[in-house]
């Protein structure tokens, strides 16, 4: 079974956040790394239970970082939807 595009984007964001360590990663940087709509992907990771920290300065979002480090599990695989007939 192959990864869906959404799972690939989640894995890409996780990889960038883990590489950054404590440094916040901006949404612009994530887009520059080829991740379209990074805010949605971050939200999906939060829904999956990963601790994402949003860092602000003077009310503006600087970026996001992964709180607990490398011991976070990968996001859970999503089940495919079955459409009714």
List pLDDT tens digits, range 35-68.
999 999 999 999 999 999 999 999 999 999 999 6
Are the C-beta atoms of residues 41 and 13 closer than 8 Å to each other? yes
* Residue 1, pLDDT score: 47
pTM of the model: 0.73
Q: What's the topology of domain 5-69?
A: Arc Repressor Mutant, subunit A (1.10.10)
User: What's the rounded Cα separation, in Å, for the pair 84 and 81?
Assistant: 10
Are the C-beta atoms of residues 38 and 15 closer than 8 Å to each other? no
Q: What is the mean pLDDT of the segment spanning 19-48? A: 95
- The values of phi and psi at residue 61, to 5°, are -70, 120
Greater confidence (67 vs 74) lies with 67
- The values of phi and psi at residue 20, to 5°, are -75, -20
The pLDDT > 90 percentage for the chain reads: 71
**DSSP assigned state of 59:** T
- 24: which 2 tokens? 């916040």
């Amino acid at each position: 079974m192959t990864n869906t595009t959404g799972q690939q984007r989640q894995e890409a964001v996780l990889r960038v956040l883990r590489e950054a360590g404590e440094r916040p990663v901006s949404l612009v940087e994530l887009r520059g790394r080829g991740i379209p709509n990074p805010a949605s992907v971050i939200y999906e990771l939060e829904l999956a239970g990963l601790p994402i920290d949003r860092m602000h300065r003077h009310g503006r979002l600087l970026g996001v970082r992964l709180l607990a480090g490398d011991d976070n599990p990968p996001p859970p695989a999503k089940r495919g939807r079955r459409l009714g007939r």
